[in-house]
Amino acid sequence: MIPSMTHPHLPTTEAAVAAVREIADAHGVHMSVTDDIGADSTSRRSSAALFTVLDPDGSLPHEAFVELAGSPSVSVRIFPEDDARITVDGVEFHDVPRDAVPAFLRAVYGGLAFVKGRFFPPGRWLVVPLPGDETYKEPITHSALTPWLGRSVRG
């Protein structure tokens, strides 16, 4: 079981994927994982020569792309640099610390995430509050809300 701390230490991409798997199982959500291992395979190492597996420091970079089925649609790209990009119904959250991924997903699946909008300046944001005082907020750039986003609107 994942510790209920705000940020359990997830030292590797593999540990983060295991934490996401436990959350998916707890919420009955099907998940698929694609692993990219090696400097020539990870997205942020595009300049690495073919068949270059190790980084210059001798480490083996491991990146994972996790898709979680259902509503909302969620994907998580976990990077070797200890951060992640989480997309919830088309809204992208960049540079989420890898250790915050479990709390972020618990907030989304636990009903804590919400859409906030205002008339001036016009705009809507998806807000994901985490335990403690940490909150992630990103603008919703597409004009039509998905059914899940529409149900999550708060004043």
Which pLDDT tens digit goes with each residue over 35-57?
775 555 555 445 545 545 544 55
Please check whether residue 132 lies inside any domain of the structure: no
Please check whether residue 73 lies inside any domain of the structure: yes
Residue 59 three-state SS: coil
Residue 43 three-state SS: helix
Task: Please answer whether residues 51 and 40 qualify as being in contact, where contact means their C-beta atoms are separated by less than 8 angstroms.
Answer: yes
CA distance to 51, 123, 125, 131, per residue, from 105 (Å)? 34, 24, 17, 12
Please check whether residue 78 lies inside any domain of the structure: yes
What global pTM score does this model have? 0.81
Predicted pLDDT of residue 143: 78
Predicted pLDDT of residue 148: 94
Domain count, the chain: 1
Please check whether residue 43 lies inside any domain of the structure: yes
Containing structural domain, residue 75: 13-111
Which pLDDT tens digit goes with each residue over 87-113?
999 999 999 999 999 999 999 999 999
Please check whether residue 130 lies inside any domain of the structure: no
Which pLDDT tens digit goes with each residue over 55-88?
455 555 668 899 999 999 999 999 888 889 999 9
